Structure 1
Amino acid sequence: MKNIIYKKAPYLFILMLIFSSCDLDINDNPNSPTTATVIELLPHGQVSVIESFASLVNAITSSAVQTRVNSRYDNYTVTRTTIDGLWNSNLYSGGLKDLEDVITQGTIEENWHYVGIAKLMKAYTFSLMVDLWNDIPYSEAFNAEIDMPAYDSGSEIYANLEALIIEALGDLNKTSVLSPGSDDVVYGGDLAKWERMGNTLLLKMYNQTRLVDSSVGPKIESLIAQDNLIQSSTDDFQLLYGDTAAPENRMSLFEVDYVIRLDNRIANYFNDLLTGNNDPRIPYYLYNQTPGEFIGRDSGNPNGLSTFEDQDTRTFHGAYPAGGKYDDGSGGITTADLGLKGAATYRMMTNAMRIFIEAEAVMALGINASASAEVLFEDGIRESMAKVNDLGVGPGISTAQIDTYVADRLLVFNASNDADKLKLIMLEKYVHLFGNGMEQYNDWRRTGIPDDLTLVVQTSPTLNRFPYPSSVTPPTTPNNDEFVFWDN
């Protein structure tokens, strides 16, 4: 587990992880937690589960949706052994165990604000695990008296998580013996922001299940009407990394592209989409080592994938999302001293993402949202551009550039039928989510958009779900191309 430095205006919070639970078993007794306090357990749990999705899961899913070509996971190459550490050390025996201990210990101590935050982190994590694996241990996952915890169905877990989020929101409003501050590495103890995060998580989950649950439309409308969702970039559910190597606190994507410099190329598909729309985010998203020249790779091209002959010439991830360098056209080989030096942001749920979810629900479900689909489409684009400008690198995307891009996209949008309008919404969301392959992967499976992803040679079945790790014996071991419950 990394030591990570978190920069939170107006102060610098240094989190030293003084213990690790990575050697704990999934069935360690939650009624006998470690001697660590909730103040120590909460940040460790937050970092561990978030890093799981920001690193390995991100690499696999980003390759699946073709924003990058990763030499290890191209062509849906994900095996059961690939998943072992993620499932055991990072999740069940790592961050999730810490969060479960916060819930158990905090309930006894009446530290309700810690309990509420831990429940929201638990709900977020388990929802993504269902999205990856479908049926997983949940209700018996931390019961020390059970050797082989049952695998609950994905749909049942989603229903339980809905109840857990509502519980958590109630906990945040209770009188708490202690309240978190800088030990909450996401929101610094701002409970109002945690409330907006919880409601936005519900919104995301309802939208995720819209193909299999006809009741979600009114639920989405109710959440929007309450007007307590993520509403600005200051509410965004995200994790900020640092820029030092001792202790190591840089984003893993920066380490891969600027320090190790081996695994990733940018997929030609993604670059073609950006350049085809004259997207002003390109120099913030992509860094060309070869001055002024994009050098990417076609997904599924088996030739020379692992020889790294293009290591000093290829295009890598830029300042957004990797904490790398803004591309000013001068080029240069990536090093650990370039750009933001790894002080990146991993964006889990953003205001722009919330806007695009509303827009999708308007088009797919016909709901009454906070605005029309056209207005939401425009607002989502503008908020996405603003998110890039929040980096404070380069000259910034100018108002004129944003207005030109928005006008071009609206011209296409207003001339399209409903199906194509939904496609345009999802493609703009796909571009905004660059760096969060998990959510791009969810959207792609739910909507089929992008609908033109191709592989030069397809050697593995389409990755519709993750395989179970080789270290567990689930009731069944479905093929990777089988669907999770909400994906029909």
Structure 2
Amino acid sequence: MKLKIKQSILSVFAFALLAASACTSDFEEINTNPNGPLEVPSSLLISSVLTITGDQMYSTFLGGDMGSCWAQHWGKVQYNDEARYQYRETVTNGMWVTFYARSLADAKKMYELAQQEGNENVQGVALTLSAYVYALLTDVYGPIPMSEALAAPSGNNTPKYDSQPEVYDSLVNMLDLAVDKLGSGVGTINATSDLMYGGDASKWQRFANSLLFRTIMRMSATSEFSNYSSKLQEIYNSGTLFTSRDDEAKFAYLAAAPNNNPIYNTIVEGNRGEFKVNSKMIEVLEANGDPRLSVYAEVNEDGEYRGKPSGYTGLPTDEWNYTNVSSIGEFYLQATNPALFLTYSEQEFFISEAIARGFITGGSALAQEHYNNAVTADLESNGIGAADIASYLEANGYAGVDKIAEEKWVSLYTQGLEAFTEWRRLQVPALDLPVEAVEDEIPSRYRYPRDEQSQNRESYDEAVEMLGGSDNLTTKLWWNK
């Protein structure tokens, strides 16, 4: 079965050439630019996929409004509809279109070109990035087109949706293949185009394996998890996971527009100061004596840290406004802050959880070691010194899965989509329904784009049936039922 799945992955990426006939014998010679390349080298597409994907994840109108606000890291003192779940469908529709038409299309082209070149390392990069983007899509929508996606050039404009178990099955095998190819030593990765790892295939392999570990852990509450549970130990024993913050999957934005961090671009350059710190985040940080408080938030006009609960219409008011609620810390509003795809801290939280749940051998001592690695790495990334880290760990030591989940929730600050996803999976800390919310519970997903309902109706209806019959914000996904 695994071989068939790998073959289906390769068929998804198979290169389709359209035959063309010349009108005259010298047509090609006349219409060929002798000074221009006929094909773009495959590596040159890496920067495109990274930038397009990062810009979407860090958009304040997607990862902010429907990520950080929904995970209750951020609250807003104006334009608060999305935080109340009356959300802007044009934004989530834009995510769907951008990820399919740009991120995944470019990754597919990258793979095809790398096949022509015989470059297995770049094939591995393309597979890793494709798996990453497909995972982003399925984790917010549910069933998605995958096996028939990107087939419009061959005439399929109405791709079927794959169920989430099918998507995850393909993700696992796609990443397995990526790990193999990135370990082959065949081909080079252009260092200039590789904004993430500067052409280092071994680091890409670590990213692929860490992403594979995360993918398997995300389905740990499903019956299908038993097909993959033993693989966690295999990956852990492989020695090809992140070993420090130096390995994590990220790329730095630049100081100059339009290549600066989207959060900076909106909040600072765009003067959109309505994005503030949520009261739930400040409550947790203060309760734990967390030194990240002064990094995550600025004091208000009274010199205090004051968060705002989610929700409310008619803002700003005397109670909740631009000056009496803590702004997002300046540390997180820098133009050059990186786009974080997967951090060493998050990987270590996943490993600690896997050990705590008995998926990996080692017991509580090993779970604590990886928990300490995770917390330490995140505190260090926030500029916290060694003495304060030691004090924090002494007061907030390893205490099982709920503590892992709480610390992970804190650590995913400004990583809106991932914070929302991991909160839905682990449900820690307990979050309150926003004031004046238009739903009766915290959302579990995004609705499908309206264009899918009108242009791909039959496949859309099948996808809704897979979800249990409703395309609602509160419809549970396969892995968090």
Q: TM-score over 0.5 for the alignment?
A: yes
Q: Relative to 1, partners in 2 of residues 1:305 and 1:94: Cα closer, same or farther, differing over 3 Å?
A: farther
1:48 equivalent to 2:52? Answer yes
Aligned AA (1:279): D
1:399 aligns with 2:383: no
Q: Describe how 1:117-128 pairs up with structure 2 within 5 A.
A: 117-128=125-136
CA-to-aligned-CA distance 1:312-341 (integer Å, 9 cap, x gap) = 554322244332xxxxxxxxxxxxxxxxxx
More helix by share: 2
Deviations 1:137-157 (A, max 9, x none): 111111122121111112101
Residue 350 (str. 1) matches residue 343 (str. 2): yes
Q: Which residue of 1 aligns with 2:264?
A: 254
Q: Say whether 1:238 aligns with 2:217.
A: no
Distance in 2 (CA, whole Å) between partners of 1:456 and 1:177 is 55
**2:92 aligns to what?**
83
The secondary structure found in structure 1 opposite 2:308 is coil
Tell me the equivalent position of 1:278. 289
What's the secondary structure of 2:327's corresponding residue?
strand
Given that residues 464 and 481 in structure 1 are in contact (C-alpha distance below 8 angstroms), is that contact kept between their aligned partners in structure 2? yes
CA distance in 1, matches of 2:330, 2:233: 36
Instruction: Determine which of 142, 149, 153 is the counterpart of 1:141.
Output: 149
> Considering only aligned residues, what root-mean-square deviation do their CA atoms show, in Å?
2.6
**Superposed, which structure 2 residues align to 1:220-231 within 5 Å?**
220-231=232-243
Deviations 1:238-267 (A, max 9, x none): 12111123xx22111112222223241211
Structure 1 residue identity aligned to 2:115: T
Q: How does 1:283-294 map to 2 (within 5 A)?
A: 283-288=294-299, 290=301, 292-294=303-305
CA shift, 1:344, in A, is 0.6
Number of residue pairs matched?
Answer: 426
2:326 partner letter: T
1:81–1:470: 8 Å Cα contact kept in structure 2? no
- Does the CA-based 8 Å contact 2:233-2:359 persist in structure 1? no
Distance 1:84 1:103 in 2: 26
Separation in structure 2 between the aligned mates of residue 439 and residue 228 of structure 1, nearest angstrom: 23
> Structure 2: which 5+ runs fail to align?
1-11, 19-37, 454-459, 465-469
1:445, 1:203 → 2: CA distance?
18
CA contact (8 A) 1:362 1:372 kept: yes
Which runs of 5 or more structure 1 residues have no equivalent in the other structure? 1-26, 324-341, 390-396, 415-420
1:175-203 CA-to-partner distances (Å, cap 9, x unmatched) read 54543212011111111111111111111
Q: Is 1:57 paired with 2:62?
A: yes
User: Is residue 94 from structure 1 mapped to residue 102 from structure 2 by the alignment?
Assistant: yes
Alpha-carbon distance between aligned partners in 2 of 1:368 and 1:28, rounded to the nearest angstrom = 37
**How far apart in 2 are the matches of 1:361 and 1:178?**
34
For 1:305 and 1:94, locate their aligned partners in 2 and report how far apart those are by CA, in whole Å.
38
With normalisation by structure 1, the TM-score equals: 0.81
From 466, 470, 475, the equivalent of 2:450 is 470
Instruction: Show structure 1 runs of 4+ deviating over 4 A.
Output: 27-30, 32-35, 305-309
Contact 1:65 1:440 (C-alpha < 8 Å) held by counterparts: yes
Counterpart amino acid of residue 103 in structure 2: G
Code of the aligned partner of 2:311: G
Query: Counterparts of 2:190 and 2:271 in 1: how far apart (Å)?
Result: 38
Q: CA deviation at 1:162?
A: 1.1
Which of 422, 440, 445 does residue 401 from structure 2 map onto?
422
Cα 1:400/1:42, change in 2 over 3 Å = closer
Quote the offset at 1:110 in angstroms: 1.4
Is the 8 Å Cα contact of residues 290 and 313 (structure 1) preserved in structure 2?
yes
Task: Give distance in 2, aligned partners of 1:320 and 1:107.
Answer: 42
Structure 1 residues 225, 40: closer, same or farther in 2, change over 3 A? Answer: closer
Alignment partner of 1:147: what SS? coil
Whether 2:429 is the aligned partner of 1:450: answer: yes
Query: Cα distance 1:243–1:369, how it changes in 2: closer, same or farther (>3 A)?
Result: farther
Cα distance in 1 for partners of 2:41, 2:239 equals 35
* 8 Å contact kept, 2:316–2:322: no
Distance 1:274 1:40 in 2: 42
CA separation of 1:455 and 1:219: change in aligned 2, threshold 3 A? same
Q: Read off the aligned partner of 1:171 and give its amino acid letter.
A: K
Do the aligned partners of 2:62 and 2:91 also contact (CA within 8 Å) in 1? no
Q: Equivalent residue for 1:31?
A: 16
Where do residues 61-460 of structure 1 align in structure 2 (5 Å cutoff)? Answer: 61-70=67-76, 71-88=80-97, 90-143=98-151, 144=153, 145-174=155-184, 176-212=186-222, 213-245=225-257, 248-262=258-272, 263-288=274-299, 290=301, 292-304=303-315, 310-311=321-322, 314-323=325-334, 342-365=335-358, 367-369=360-362, 372-389=366-383, 397-410=384-397, 413=398, 421-460=400-439
- Code of the residue aligned with 2:16 in structure 1: it is N
Superposition deviation, residue 299 in structure 1: 0.5
Q: Quick check: which one's strand share is greater?
A: 1
* Corresponding residue of 2:457: none
C-alpha distance in structure 2 between counterparts of 1:98 and 1:482, whole Å = 31
Shift in alpha-carbon separation, 1:201–1:369, aligned structure 2, 3 A:
farther
Structure 1 residue 171: Cα displacement = 1.9
Counterpart of 1:224 in 2: which secondary structure? helix
Q: Secondary structure of the equivalent of 1:372?
A: helix
Whole-Å separation in 1 of the counterparts to 2:213 and 2:193: 27
Q: Percent identity?
A: 22
- CA deviations 1:6-49 (Å, max 9, x no partner) are xxxxxxxxxxxxxxxxxxxxx99963599543233221122112
Larger mean CA deviation between 200-209 and 47-56 belongs to 47-56
- Using a 3 Å threshold, how does the CA distance of structure 1 residues 257 and 313 change in structure 2: closer, same or farther? farther
Query: After alignment, is 184-193 or 441-450 more displaced?
Result: 441-450
Deviation, 1:66, is: 0.2
Distance, in Å, in 2 between the alignment partners of 1:155 and 1:308 is 46
